[in-house]
Chain A
Amino acid sequence: MPTKLDLLPGTLDVMVLQTLATLGSLHGYGIARRIEQISGDQVLLNQGTIYASLVRLQQRGWISAGWGISENNRRAKFYSITKRGRHQLAADAAYWQRLAHVMGSVLALSPGENR
């Protein structure tokens, strides 16, 4: 079994934002599960670390939070993305796409190829 991917710094925040942007209001557990599912369990995620990310995003005003009741009747804290969060997500997404593109091009260079 290949080892799981370590998360680069800053990536978890983007994942959380994207999850909330697509799924609307969600609790911490739901977010964590969703990220695991999307990444096809390739990411090494200690679910506990997600809460540091959540509080950070909250303090920056990109997401908001409130206690509510889950689908299984459990009390849980629900998070949803704010307007500023969507702006931030757009910027971050563009950045990561550019980076991924550049990385892809660089790694596509095969030996002997000249430009």
Chain B
Amino acid sequence: MREMFARIASFFRAEKMDQDLDAELASHLEMAVDENIRSGMSPKDARRKALAKFGSIEPARELHREARGLPALDTLLQDLRYTFRALRRDAGFTTFAILIVGLGIGASSTVFSVVNALLLRPLPFRDPGQLVWFVNHNESNGLSGQTVQVGHLLDMREQNKSFSGLAAYMAFYGVGDNKLTGQGEPERLTSVPVTENFFPLMGVQPQLGRQFTAEECKWNGPKAVLLSHGLWVRRFASDPGIVGRALTLDETPVTVVGVMPASFDFGSIFAPGTRIDLYSPFPLSPETNRWGNTIAIIGRLKPGVAIQAAQAEFSVLSEQLTKAHPRDRNELDAKLSPLAEHVGGRLRPALLVLSCAVGVVMLIVCANISNLLLARTATRQKEIAVRIALGAGRPRLIRQMLTESVVLSCCGAALGVLLAVGGTRALAHLDAFSIPLLQNVRTDASVLAFTLFVAVLTGLLFGLVPALQVPAVALHDALKDTSRGSTEGKRRSWTRDSLVVSEIAFACVLLVGAGLLMRSFLRVLDVNLGFQPERAATLRVDPSGRNLTQAQQNAYFDEVLRRTRDIPGISAAGLTDALPLGRNRSWGAPAKGQVYAKGEYPIAFVRIVSDGYVKALGIPLIAGRDLSERDTPTTESVIVINETMARRLFPGQDAIGKMVVACNDNGRRVVGVVGDVRHLALEQGAGSEMYLPIRQCNDWSSVELVVRTTLPPAELAAAVRAALKPVDPNLAANEFRTVQQLVDKAVSPRRFVVMLLGGFAVFALILASLGIYAVISYSVSQRTQEIGIRMALGATAGDLQSSIIKQTLSLAAVGMLLGVAASWALARSLSGLLFGITATDPVTFAGMLVVLTTVAALAGYLPARRASRIDPMIALRSS
């Protein structure tokens, strides 16, 4: 220990200690000379004898340094100095190597930071491992199928033994449901109603103010809201005095009781891609119980309780509760999963694919730089030979080579970190992407640690092959070999070729992966949505004023539609309460008079719409008529259903004129059948859907105006706002969305993966082609003389070119053969991400082969052309 400190100290005081030693050695020699003179020698002999006795001075110094300091560090510093000199000398190579390592490491670190945020880092709650997500039935059923009724929550709280608490939020909150008026421009805000214990259960404290009180969480209790951090900053300029102020929400005064911290972002966890502005109290009361399945539940397990045990308990409990309430409640079938799994789990396969892809990219980078280093070693043979001659051992030389490669990769990593910082910033700002926790993606300490690890690992990896080649360079041969004409060692060219082959094989795998996902993505975009998003746009137009009668509402709707349709350039307009790919709910919807077996009771997705909606969204009318403005409370109750529903309820019959029970108990006459719409997701077919006339059924919570138009969006917003001013002077300014945006958001996770993977594949392709190019042009330059001789003997430029291109293509062919085999095996693991194609999609594989062959041929052609222009006379004289 003491010695270690002393050694470190002397390492930093090396100069001083050397001087000290020199003085000591000098005095030693003087004393020896003195003594020799005293014993009768001549001064000259005395000095000679003293020196002889002393031995050589330099090794003594060296020994002294080794004994006192840190010899390993000394050598390392020497190696580093040497490395920097060598790399500076070869600036072109260095720049290129740093660039591609930087790109590779930048990509790896960015992907790692996404994986870190979504899968590795714990959720930003207290003891997130204890949090459990509840799903009723299963997740593919639309929100009504997944959510739970309030009464069930209360009973589960009472009766369960596994959880220390169960909290919930109302899952049917609507984006922009609350209109803020009073200060500044009216604005539509999104509010999530949460139960009283929601924030305590998650372990989140308001940054300002307090949480909801029990009183506020009663039905018709005092109106209170908590602001999200984002809204507080954006709309209220971070006003610290906001707590206690009253806001006007939907023309009702509401008290701000607190502000949530920036670290709590409800949207990024429970509703990716949605901006949540407010939290309001959700009462657990008989009134909310009557709303049916509305809440999403989160539970906190008691310490030591396993989720499997809790699931077992809740399976029994669900059955009991369902049996106990056959009439007044919906069925309960609680399925439990860790909250982290619910949030990040869906993206796990995609992230896994991305991680593997980025790993493959790094391997290609390594192969590429290995190859360049090999070529460099070859040109540095003399330098190496000289160092060996001067006494550098092989281990020392290998260490020197590895130092060089690690230094290269660390420089690359520095660039990579910059890229990763940029990359993560860009990703964190992809607001429109419905990917959870994306805002939390950042370059933090763990990402930096990862980067360093990758840098050293890649450095060693790509340095290893060239470093191990060093001892193969025979000292004697290297010093003697002055001509470039001699053929290079078989072994080295074999290494070089296999590196290129592996690069091509890796690129092949990436291209296939990216190709498959890209084709799936295109297939998804190609899906027949059932509506035409192009040129359709939507705007929230909920009627203002509370407690309007149905007649007043209908008058408002008539007026809005009439005025909108009068705007030139608008070809159709209609109203709806639910847009495709957004919120959805389902109701029981049997044919009137029909009795259904248990489990076969028909359920349909509900849209409450006006006349013109179907036309505005471009949904085809198959039979009968659209709803009309004359479908009012005073006329017959009617309904429009989709094809699937018509087929399910009335198989083999004409649905028009039949009766369906929905929204009221007397049945509605089917007046029209329309095409199916992909309402849940692009990848998922439609179930039964029904369209109820908004003038007969006022069970809606929001009203969207949908228009089909040729106007550009900006002009449209102004025109609609102007037209509707007389009806609603407080129309909120924001939220004029095109329907295309809804579709884009729905495919955004897929787009995200395709974007990244496509980028990696392109990078891999470039690297592989550079690799081929480098190897072929190196072999051409090595063979200049041979080529010269061939040309002198009558080979034509064409012969030479074709032989070189043949050499290139045979390399590429071996690589592609391996690559296809590997892709064939690996593509199966992608099958969960594919849509509309199989993992062995022949088009993708063929396309990849064509692309790679073309690129390889091109990469081989350039050196081939150079070779064919060699002047045989110059080539022969070149040595």
A residues contacting B by CB (< 8 A) are: 27-30, 32-33, 46-49, 51-53, 55-56, 58-61, 70, 72, 74-77
Tell me the bound Cα distance from A47 to B27 in angstroms: 13
- Distance A36 CA – B423 CA, assembled complex (angstroms): 71
Given A52-B64, A52-B66, A56-B68; A76-B27 close (CB under 8 Å): yes
Contact with A along B722-745 (1 / 0, CB 8 A): 000000000000000000000000
> Residue B67 at the A interface, CB < 8 A?
yes
* Interface residue total, chain B, C-beta cutoff 8 A: 29
Residue on A with the closest CB to B58?
A48
How far does the alpha carbon of A1 sit from the alpha carbon of B66 in the complex, in Å? 34
Do the beta carbons of B68 and A47 come within 8 Å of each other?
no
- Leading 10 A-B pairs by shortest Cβ distance: A48-B60, A46-B55, A59-B6, A52-B63, A52-B67, A29-B31, A55-B68, A56-B67, A29-B28, A48-B55
B24 within 8 Å of A (CB atoms): yes
A17 nearest CB across to chain B (Å): 15
Please, how many angstroms separate the alpha-carbon atoms of A74 and B24 in the complex? 11
B3 within 8 A of A: yes
8 contacts between A and B (CB under 8 A): A47-B54, A51-B21, A51-B63, A52-B63, A52-B68, A55-B21, A55-B68, A59-B67
CB proximity of B640 to chain A, nearest CB, Å = 93
Given the complex, which residues of A lie within 8 Å of B63, measured CB to CB? 48-49, 51-52
B197 at the interface (CB under 8 A from A): no
Is B7 positioned at the interface, with any CB of A under 8 Å from its CB? yes
Q: How far is the CA of A19 from the CA of B411 in the complex (A)?
A: 53
Q: Smallest Cβ distance from B5 to chain A, in angstroms?
A: 9
Chain A residues near B28 (CB-CB < 8 A)? 27-29, 32, 47, 76
Select which of A30, A51, A74, A77 is within 8 A of B30 by beta carbon: A74
A59 pairs with B24, CB closer than 8 A: no
Task: Assess whether B31 is in contact with A52, with CB atoms less than 8 Å apart.
Answer: no
- Answer yes or no: B2 CB below 8 A from chain A CBs: yes
**B34:A74 contact, CB within 8 angstroms:** yes
In the complex, A5→B726 CA distance in Å?
A: 114
Q: Which of A28, A48, A53, A61 counts the most chain B CB atoms within 10 A?
A: A48
The one of B6, B23, B56 in contact with A48, judged by C-beta atoms closer than 8 angstroms, is B56
**Residue from A29, A30, A52, A77 in contact with B60 in the complex, judged by beta carbons closer than 8 Å:** A52
User: Which residues of chain B come closer than 8 Å to A33, judged between CB atoms?
Assistant: 35
Q: Is the CB of B54 within 8 A of A55?
A: no
Task: Evaluate contact between B27 and A46: CB separation under 8 angstroms.
Answer: no
Contact of B27 among A53, A56, A74 (CB under 8 A): A74
* A30 CA / B53 CA spacing, docked (Å): 13
Name the B residues within 8 Å of A28 (CB-CB).
Answer: 24, 28
What residues of A have a CB within 8 angstroms of the CB of B59 in the complex? 48
CA distance A55 to B63 in the complex (A): 10
Query: Which residues from chain B contact A72 at a C-beta distance below 8 Å?
Result: 31, 34
Shortest beta-carbon distance from A110 to chain B in Å: 40
Residues in chain A near residue B10, CB distance under 8 A: 55, 59
A55 & B27 in contact (Cβ 8 Å cutoff): no
- How far apart are the CA atoms of A56 and B4 in the complex, in Å? 11
Is B55 within 8 A of A29, CB to CB?
no
